[in-house]
Amino acid sequence: KKTYRIAVIPGDGIGKEVVPEGLRVLEAAAKKHGVAVHFDHFDFASWDYYEKHGEMMPEDWKAKIGKHDAIYFGAVGWPAKIPDHISLWGSLIKFRREFDQYVNLRPVRLMPGVPSPLANRKPGDIDFWVVRENTEGEYSSVGGRMFPDTDREFVTQQTVMTRIGVDRILKFAFELAQSRPKKHLTSATKSNGISITMPYWDERVEAMAKNYPKVKWDKYHIDILTANFVLHPDWFDVVVGSNLFGDILSDLGPACTGTIGIAPSGNINPPGLFPSVFEPVHGSAPDIAGQGIANPIGMIWSGAMMLEHLGEKQAADSIVAAIERTLGERTLRTRDLGGNADTTACGKAVAEMV
Amino acid sequence: KKTYRIAVIPGDGIGKEVVPEGLRVLEAAAKKHGVAVHFDHFDFASWDYYEKHGEMMPEDWKAKIGKHDAIYFGAVGWPAKIPDHISLWGSLIKFRREFDQYVNLRPVRLMPGVPSPLANRKPGDIDFWVVRENTEGEYSSVGGRMFPDTDREFVTQQTVMTRIGVDRILKFAFELAQSRPKKHLTSATKSNGISITMPYWDERVEAMAKNYPKVKWDKYHIDILTANFVLHPDWFDVVVGSNLFGDILSDLGPACTGTIGIAPSGNINPPGLFPSVFEPVHGSAPDIAGQGIANPIGMIWSGAMMLEHLGEKQAADSIVAAIERTLGERTLRTRDLGGNADTTACGKAVAEMV
Ligand SMILES: CC(C)[C@H](C(=O)O)[C@@H](O)C(=O)O
Ligand SMILES: CC(C)[C@H](C(=O)O)[C@@H](O)C(=O)O
């Protein structure tokens, strides 16, 4: 029986507080469901490490974590101490690129006990996935500045979409849609305004759709799509978008279900050639770090996504069910959700229920 | 006393149904407040015109409408009959570029009688402006495709930000913020992911802020900003964004206040060298065109923005007040807002109340 080797990287701020709760729950679920997991802990990809070593990660970081079955990642970034382009581009975005994690997958689900900012929506009403292209698109490094400090000054940055990059994310999204009862895929576009790359995206969606005759698909321009997340969140089943559009939709979606504080995410390399990274959608939250009040549910739920990715669906499902039960009890929820539990109490509650 | 010369272009679909109501209200307000207005009607920038002439507009369109004090525009586009890149880029976007309408201005305001999709928000809670750069940024025409129909195929499109283009929209936004009681400006960025153009945008915001010491400003990445539109719409006063970010925020904002069906917009050339275009945010809505049920409020409210732009604030305010009273009556609202008025009845109600 296989032992899964997981690289654990807490990172910065509340990452360090929620990771232990995530591990507590993973251990409980693994024990209960007979899954063997081994954790290796790493302190890099953090401000502390940068302060000591002058870099975000050791030179041999790939050797250290590149052979693990998955990476369990807390949060990185502390803008007051270190600029984002060093901290984020030196860790999170590096993983996405160098481990070719071309899928960023995030659920949008209204959970019990989480007050929805939308009127008249109940758990069950909102339940879909955002599939985001995670390696190219608008997050390119091609561009520059000309005529600095003059009236003619300008900057440009290219959006880059490759056939390989677009087709593989669309394939993933169509496969996911096909596997779900509703079999409905929505593509985010803006071909009426972004007149070169977005029509190309649309063209590839149409071509890919031919391989999935059972999937009903549609497309919306990103402006009206964000409006529909608010007005008609029940319309969606699987939503696919470019790097930027997926980024926006996967923050907006969780906001529509009450909070980004509990949302999980997977940065996935579908062929499995490299480890995938599982991390909560929230960041390191310097404003509340160190107080023991952070909500650990996003981290815990990311652990469930990791187990599902590893093929341990039963253990994964037990975590999600335990999360739902925990959120349903006011005394077990954290304060951001109107409860009165601290980070540890919330984590323990989930661990007991898996 | 000056007579304002307005070019009226109904365009397509429901544009043709809401423009007459907008004119009815403008005429009533002008009469009541002693404003002299003259309307010239044009049938171009429509599918009908395209069908007859094989082009969206006559060659001398600039001579025809370039000297008017403003353009009152319905809606353009009918994707089933004519591709967007011909209809939109041949009219609306052409106006924005060739008349250098570098400001796209849209109010986000929760109105009486309009059910908010957000829980527990009342009229007065949400009241801000979105200021969108309207000529450059992500809507560039620089880019292309290479290696077509091979595995190496890729497309690129440049985002272009010029010093002149960025500074002038920021100046407009800071001025607007400074003129309001809260004096609060929020800038939309994504400098942690879009690593060349967005840091430049941030840099220019910081430079411009020095000229407006009374304005409190902050910035959010676009992903969390969309989340905050849903979670904390009361935080905002003036929000400024690039062409794409402004486009998204100015659909999402009206959605958070219940419907994009009543939202107005101005495409403004602040120096006044060219006419500005005032149009509802909604499109031509082929699905309901011809039934007489379209909501004319977006068009009517756009007329108020036009009058305010022309310096006729009193007449403008009287229209906005009449809109609020009309929306407050179920029998005067259109069906999309749970009322039972048709387009004309709703328009007449506003006209009577100005
Ligand atoms: C129709 C489209 C090109 C346009 C835009 O994206 O600018 C519209 O969404 C708008 O906001 O006016
Ligand atoms: C931190 C930032 C670079 C990142 C992104 O934009 O990808 C984050 O918003 C996310 O969604 O994981």
- Ligand 2: residues whose CB is within 6 Å? A 88, 247; B 192-193, 223
Q: Evaluate if residue A120 carries a pLDDT over 90.
A: no
Average pLDDT over residues A284-290: 95
Supply B353's token pair.
């109340």
Q: Evaluate if residue A1 carries a pLDDT over 90.
A: no
Q: Evaluate if residue A116 carries a pLDDT over 90.
A: no
Atom of ligand 1 nearest to the CA of A190: 6
The helix (run of H) or strand (run of E) holding residue A187 is: strand A184-189
CA A105, A110, A112, A118 dihedral sign is positive
Q: How far apart are CA A326 and CA B244, in angstroms?
A: 40
Residues 75-104 of B with CB under 8 A from A: 77, 84-85, 88-89, 93
Contacts of the segment B231-234: beta carbons below 8 A, 24+ positions apart: B231/A117, B231/A255, B231/A259, B233/B108, B233/B118, B233/B121, B233/B125, B233/B126, B233/B128, B233/B257, B234/B121, B234/B125, B234/B126
- Note whether B152 contacts A163, CB cutoff 8 Å: yes
Transcribe B25-93 into DSSP letters.
Answer: HHHHHHHHHT-EEEEEE---SSHHHHHHHSSSS-TTHHHHHTTSSEEEEEE--BTTTB-HHHHTTTTHH
pLDDT for A188: 98
CA dihedral A147→A152→A158→A159, nearest 10 degrees, is 150
pLDDT for A185: 98
Residue B241 C-alpha, separation from nearest chain A C-alpha, in angstroms: 13
**A252: contact with B, CB 8 A cutoff:** yes
The helix (run of H) or strand (run of E) holding residue B20 is: helix B15-33
Task: Give alpha helix (H) positions in chain A.
Answer: 15-33, 47-53, 61-65, 84-87, 92-98, 163-178, 197-209, 222-231, 243-256, 297-309, 313-327, 343-353
Closest to B226 in 3D by CA, of B235, B217, B215: B235
Give pLDDT tens digits for B140-197.
989 999 999 999 999 999 999 999 999 999 999 999 999 999 999 999 999 999 999 9
Low-confidence ranges of chain B (pLDDT < 70): none
Query: What phi and psi, each to the nearest 5 degrees, are found at residue A194?
Result: -100, 95
Residue A157: other Cβ atoms inside 10 A? 26
| Residue owning the nearest CA to atom 9 of ligand 1 | B247
Interval between CA A193 and ligand 1 midpoint (Å): 7
Q: pTM of this prediction?
A: 0.97
pLDDT for B324: 96
Residues 6+ apart with CB under 8 A from A130: A105, A106, A107, A108, A239, A240, A241, A246, A249, A250, A253
Q: How far apart are CA B166 and CA B241, in angstroms?
A: 10
Give pLDDT tens digits for A75-105.
999 989 999 889 999 999 999 999 999 999 9
Give pLDDT tens digits for A126-170.
999 999 999 999 999 899 999 999 999 999 999 999 999 999 999
Q: Which residue of A has its CA nearest to B221?
A: A248
B296 DSSP assignment: -
